[in-house]
Amino acid sequence: MTKDGKIYIAGHRGMVGSAVWRALSALGYHNLIGKTSKELDLRNQAEVNAFYEREQPEVVIDAAAKVGGILANSEHPYPFLMENLQIQNNLIDGAHHHKVEKFIFLGSSCIYPKLAPQPLKEDYLLTDSLEPTNEWYAIAKIAGVKACEAIRKQYQKDFVSLMPTNLYGPHDNFDLKSSHVLPAMLRKFHDAKLNNETVTLWGSGTPMREFLHVDDLARAVVYAVENVLPEHLYNVGTGTDVTIKDLADTIQAIVGHEGAIDWDSSKPDGTPRKLMDVSKLNQQGWQANIDLKSGIEMTYAWFLENEGAVKEVKL
């Protein structure tokens, strides 16, 4: 891959897509393509095919998705299933028919069974039932993984899927109705600090989660751009996890909130534990290097600098 090769980043304004764009730009890749949802509706097959015909990208990075936390997935199951299927199917199939040789599909660790052995290995995919609170999104992402695997198997194209653990960082979604646990906590503690209030958090605080700074994921994507990975599916994470309670304590200290924390045990915890086995990608030469505390400090600094741009998300 040369530095002037044409690379299309779907979802380039999102947290993941913007991080990938920054990482590639920093390395001298200058022929990057990004389209807003108004410029290109990825749910529309005809529009996507016309885009491929016009632009002829050499590499496609699929960082576009409808995403959200437990509440959003529970209350809006159909769009989380159907819109994600539409987006990825159009991108994958269009890339195949327009002779794109390298396609990088980004998914989520939620593709793995709820009660799979820990840490989660790539081989555990489709071995048991999913976590009910986000199965709609997970099913869509599993379909994307299998589509890329099928193209790779039948046509020997370099289509690879990267499954990151829980992500956070600049340009995250901090809307309390649709965000994931870490940015939601950061927003809650920040607001509570300003208003001198108690913070109420869902569940018991006992589930364990792994968190990856989005800039580390971006480096994994760059690695996949610059190398031919021998298998179709790779986990991307830190290989370490913390309890939700420890996460809350860390964020509370970083934000400077001094009030109480009220754990609402009537709300669901979700999957008990979700730790990724990242040995396959580590063996290929990539590993995470941003520790959780430093990453949260950087994320909170970004949030404070961009608080006026943080908007409510419509589902």
Q: Which residues are annotated as a binding site for substrate?
A: 188, 202, 209, 269
Give the position of tokens 């580390």: 216
In this structure, the number of other CB atoms found within 10 A of the CB of residue 168 comes to 22
Q: Return binding residues for NADP(+).
A: 11-17, 106-109, 141, 164-167, 180
Task: Give how far Cα 252 sits from Cα of 59, 137, 144, 204, 310, Å.
Answer: 41, 30, 37, 17, 20
Q: Is 232 helix (H, G, I), strand (E, B) or coil?
A: coil
DSSP state letter for 259: S
Looking only at the bridges linking them, the beta strands covering 59-62 and 32-33 are unpaired
Query: What are the DSSP calls for 81-137, one per residue?
Result: HHHHHHHHHHHHHHHHHTT--EEEEE--GGGS-TT--SSBPGGGTTSSPPPGGGHHH
Of 29, 52, 137, 223, which is the active-site residue? 137
Q: Who's near 125: CB < 8 A, 6+ residues apart?
A: 111, 112, 142, 145, 233
State yes or no: is 155 an active-site residue: no
| Integer Rg of the chain from CA | 19
Binding-site positions read: 11-17, 106-109, 141, 164-167, 180, 188, 202, 209, 269
Residue with tokens 């509440």: 71
| Catalytically annotated residues | 137
